[in-house]
Structure 1
Amino acid sequence: MTAVGGTFESGPHEEGFRVSAYVPDAPEQQSTARPPGPAPFRHARRRVAVGFGTAAGVGVVLVGVAFGWYAYAEKHSVLEPAAYAKLRLGTPAAEVEHVLPERDVHDPPDDRAPAPPEGADCRYYRASGELFVSVDHFRLCFDAGRLVAKDVVPRIGLPGEGREEYEEFAQ
């Protein structure tokens, strides 16, 4: 009966029982809109999945960009051991600049380096282009426009050993 727009009621009334029914002459137009079912949840799940997918994609891109920048910065801060060997103390900084790589190390190993000369501006360069491993570094210190110190800073885990290959370059 309710399917065609009617009503039905029953229940106790005063000292008895009452039943009431109404059936319309013409059935009401049925609404074409369906009651909310699983579709809203399906769309919500899809939105959540797209949000997580987008966040994961952005994260992957950011990690890729960070790795690319790391690799670029590390590879472009390598001073070849042969070029380091040719440097002599007292050489003007302008002459030294011609053999230096375009970048110096952005996170120098200060904790493993000897004390710098008083008032000198020191720069660090990687001795090799290996990534994700500790490598030896070359430290060049300048004061008053001249090279005043050059040191080999050993990689982590090699306190004294493994430096033989650079000992000849330290002078």
Structure 2
Amino acid sequence: MARPFVGGPPTSQDRADLAVLRAAVSDAVGHLRDTIGVLRDGSEGQESLVSSVEPVEELVARTRESGVAVHLRREGAARALPPLVDRSAYRVVQESLTNAIKHAPGSTVRVSIARQSDRTEVRVTNSAAPTAPATSPSAVPAPGAGRAAGHRGLTGLRERVRLLGGTLHAAPREGGFEVFATLPDQVHPKHPRSSGEPQEETAPESALRLTVARRSTRRRFVAAFAAPVGVGLLTLVSCAYLAQQLTTCVLRPVDFAALRPGQERVEVARLLPERQFRYLPDAVRALPVPPGTDCAYYRSNGNLLDQVDLYRLCYEGSRLVGKDVLPG
């Protein structure tokens, strides 16, 4: 049973992040399965890995039916390839078609698969996008093909080809873009270089996207908890400040009773708290004061939760001329 989201129902952005996580995990599992097959010793393990992708012809046909001008040409004698090589060739075409549809809508895409004596060369070239691109929202090469964000998907694809012992180059060409991969017929895995040799700092696209999605989700959860905590701390500080203000403006009843009109302000000040009470209710502010006097207000006790009576001391010049008790 799914646990409810903390702080309310999931938002559309939360659902999008979860979808990204699921797609990234699925792609990472597929990439890990291929990598294990490549690095496994002996040819028996490689032959037991069955390719689970459709033929390139079906991929191209479905893409063409969606409105994309794509042409496929095969060269050389057809022969069976190791499943890892066949799968990688499919992924090169799939990723290239995805990028062409996204970045050059309306362009013409040409796919060439040439079988040489000991290798397979896959070349996908798209022309420049026309001035008024023909939009085709349904042009999706294959399920999951749109997971890669732009050409960043080529990073993981280059790593996949490198693990097989092949190469992949991607660069602009004649206003468009070209992806060219060379895949060996016999898999020769590229093991990690020794610590003394430079290593190419690449990572599978699925791993990169999984990391980004995790960070985004982590930030959202942190924000969900940090906001209430921040509000709570601010409230606590405000309450502490208000309590300090209210408890330092209390004139004790015994001291209030000791005050007499006619006393000098300096003599009265010895019995007064360190500050006056300045948060007067509107009803108190509306009360008239004796003409020609200025008045100071104090709380009668330090109770913070109840309304308390207020003491008013009014001065004329340097002398106390009146004192009053105002109901709280």
TM-score, length of structure 1 as denominator length: 0.72
Q: CA deviation at 1:52?
A: 3.3
Per-residue deviation, 1:103: 1.1
Verify: 1:134 aligned to 2:134, yes or no: no
The aligned residue for residue 296 of structure 2 is 123
Give the aligned residue type for 1:86.
Answer: A
Contact 1:80 / 1:128 at 8 angstroms: preserved in 2?
A: yes
The residue correspondences of 1:27-38 to structure 2 (distance < 5 A) are 28-30=161-163, 33-35=204-206, 38=210
> In the alignment, residue 137 of structure 1 is paired with which amino acid?
L
Q: 1:110 to 1:138 in 2, by over 3 A?
A: farther
Partner in structure 2 of residue 60 of structure 1: 232
Specify every segment of 5 or more residues in structure 2 that has no aligned partner in the other structure, as ranges.
Answer: 1-84, 94-111, 121-160, 164-201
Count the aligned residue pairs: 144
- Letter of the aligned partner of 2:162 in structure 1? Q
* Residue 106 of structure 1, CA deviation: 1.5
The structure that is helix-richer by fraction is 2
Measured after TM superposition, the shift of residue 76 of structure 1 is 0.7
Unpaired runs of at least 5, structure 1: 9-19, 156-171
Match 2:244 to one of 72, 86, 89: 72
Structure 2 CA distance for aligned equivalents of residues 131 and 33 of structure 1: 62
Are the equivalent residues in 2 in contact too, given 1:137–1:152 (CA < 8 A)?
yes
Q: Which structure has the higher relative contact order (CA within 8 Å, separation 6+)?
A: 1
Residues 23 and 149 (structure 1 numbering): CA distance in 2 closer, same or farther, change over 3 Å? Answer: farther
Q: Deviations over 1:37-80 (max 9, x none)?
A: 54432211111222333333322221111111111111111100
Q: For residues 110 and 121 of structure 1, what CA distance do their matches in structure 2 show?
A: 18
Identity of aligned residues (%): 32
Q: CA deviation at 1:29?
A: 2.1
The alpha-carbon distance between structure 1 residues 5 and 108, as it changes in their structure 2 partners (threshold 3 A), is same
Distance 1:23 1:118, change over 3 A: farther
* Partners of 1:79 and 1:101 within 8 A in 2: yes
Equivalent runs, 1:1-171 vs 2, <5 Å: 2-5=86-89, 22-23=114-115, 25-26=118-119, 28-30=161-163, 33-35=204-206, 38-109=210-281, 111-112=283-284, 114-155=287-328
